[in-house]
Amino acid sequence: MESPGGLRGLFREYSGIPREAKQLVYLSIVPSFAIGFIYTDLSYFLPNIQGLSPTLAGVTITVMGATLVAESIPLGMVADRYGRKKMLVIGNLCASLSLIGFALAKSFGLILLVAVIEGTGEASFAVSVSALIADRAGDEKRTATFALLTFLGWIAGALGGFVISSLFLLEGLGLAVAQAHVLLYIVVGLLNLSVTPLMLRVKESRTGSVRKGILPKKSARVVMKYGVYSLIIAVGAGLFVPLMAFWFSAAYGVSDAISGPVLGVTNLVTACAVFMSPRLAKRAGLVGATVVTQAASTLFMVVIPLSPSFGVAASFYLVRVFLMNLSNPLTQSLIMGLVEPEERGMASGITAAIWRLPNALSTTAGYAMIDDGYLGLPFYAATVLYVIGISLYWVMFKDAKLPEEAPKQGS
């Protein structure tokens, strides 16, 4: 006989998700696939196929992130006032056009324009998807819906990276290397574009009130507190997470041909982790589950630079990824559950901007630490930041009252 905590109990958490919420989750699969594709290959494509120097390629990718940061807050305002579905559609159009644009642009000026379009697409998604899903999922199934969204998103992103291997097939059919790349970018862009008509069918609920002003006034305290926590974690993560292939090479002399597949597995590990998160939240609460898993993850993070071999370090890193990412849908659900419904788009935009900018800036610092031979410093600095961030998260949100965690009438 199976225990309530077994697989059946785990899958039961996902039953009863409203149909319109599931529709939004499924519609996110192809865009997640496209994002996984472009972020896996663009750093190779720009210098090796489009002929940009590494410096200009770096500038292009920086412009993408800077656009997201600059546009997230104003687009959040627009989404709350004029409709999140419109922003979802705009985001998908921009993402699709940017894939095709990167393939066809022949000058650095045009490539920069495409980078702005791509950043606009990411910002539009950031302010619309979470808010729409929170609106349609309801309080009882909000956490499960965010977990399903993240689970499928990580798998789709991994597939987007793996599809790059189809270049071998295209080249085998007689296409030159550059032609194969251009064709693949166009095909992925058109595939992403094909989802747009389905997005136009999404139903958007109206809360009955329209937010006025620049900032989310009713939810300002919640957004500010969450922003402080998010900023601290973002700085810590930026010190090492995007640099693990470089760190493995510096620490153990391992090439990216070996470390790359190991890091690729982290996408699948993350997917497995987030699938378990609703069950964990039911047992420990959103805040308790987040604090426990992130604290355990930090313990594994601090021993990575002490590892005697690549295999041991990689194993610790995979466990660290699993534990840390258990909390991803939980923190998403928390912020969407605490802010006012009419301010969810704005809140999403602010939190996206707060994460992306400090994360990118600290990556530069982490790169310098590793390059100078201070291999343990990024992890130890990140540990201090994580301890501060997790502690603040507990202090700020331990008494948070979410609708689904309130006692039922008559119980």
**Contact at 8 Å (CB) between 383 and 297?**
no
Amino acid at position 102, single letter = F
Domain boundary pick from 184, 203, 222: 203
355 is in which domain, residue-wise? Answer: 212-401
At 68, which helix (H) or strand (E)?
helix 54-82
- 321 and 386 in a single domain? The answer is yes
| 174 Ramachandran zone, left/alpha/beta (phi>0; psi -120 to 50) | left
- 305 and 161 in a single domain? The answer is no
**Contact at 8 Å (CB) between 143 and 338?**
no
> Does residue 91 fall inside a structural domain?
yes
The set of residues, in sequence order, having a beta carbon less than 8 Å from that of 280 and lying 6+ positions away, is 289, 293, 326, 330
Domain boundary pick from 161, 185, 203: 203
DSSP-assigned letters across all residues of 312-339: HHHHHHHHHHHHHHTTHHHHHHHHHHHS
Instruction: For helices 244-252 and 310-325, give the axis angle rounded to 10 degrees.
Output: 160
**Contact at 8 Å (CB) between 122 and 348?**
no
> How many Cα atoms occupy the beta-carbon half-sphere of 62 within 13 Å?
11
- 166 and 220 in a single domain? The answer is no
Q: CA-based Rg of the chain, rounded to a whole angstrom? A: 21
- 198 and 216 in a single domain? The answer is no
Q: 134: which 2 tokens?
A: 């929170």
> Does residue 10 fall inside a structural domain?
no
Residue showing tokens 């791509």? 118
> Does residue 286 fall inside a structural domain?
yes
Closest to 383 measured CA to CA, from 308, 324, 325: 324
- 281 and 220 in a single domain? The answer is yes
Look up the CATH number of the domain holding residue 23. Answer: 1.20.1250.20
Cα 93 from Cα 117, distance rounded (Å): 9
CA distances for 410 relative to 257, 285, 402, 405, 407, angstroms? 60, 21, 18, 15, 9
pTM > 0.75: yes or no: no
Domain boundary pick from 181, 203, 225: 203
- 159 and 273 in a single domain? The answer is no
Cα 50 from Cα 104, distance rounded (Å): 9
Each residue's pLDDT expressed in tens, for the chain with a length of 411 residues: 344 455 565 566 677 788 888 888 899 999 989 988 887 778 778 888 898 887 788 788 778 888 888 888 788 888 877 788 888 999 999 999 999 999 999 899 999 999 999 999 988 988 888 788 878 877 777 878 888 888 888 888 878 877 877 888 888 999 998 999 899 999 999 999 999 999 988 877 654 444 455 555 667 788 888 889 999 999 999 888 877 877 888 899 887 557 767 776 777 777 777 777 777 877 778 888 899 999 999 999 999 999 999 999 999 998 998 899 888 888 878 887 787 777 777 777 777 778 877 877 787 788 788 888 999 999 999 999 999 999 999 999 988 766 555 544 443
Structural domain count, the chain? 2
> Does residue 375 fall inside a structural domain?
yes
- 98 and 192 in a single domain? The answer is yes
- 131 and 157 in a single domain? The answer is yes
- 191 and 282 in a single domain? The answer is no
pLDDT at position 3: 46
> Does residue 8 fall inside a structural domain?
no
Angle at 119 between CA 187 and CA 265, to 5 degrees: 65
- 275 and 296 in a single domain? The answer is yes
Supply φ then ψ for residue 406, to 5 degrees.
Answer: -75, 150
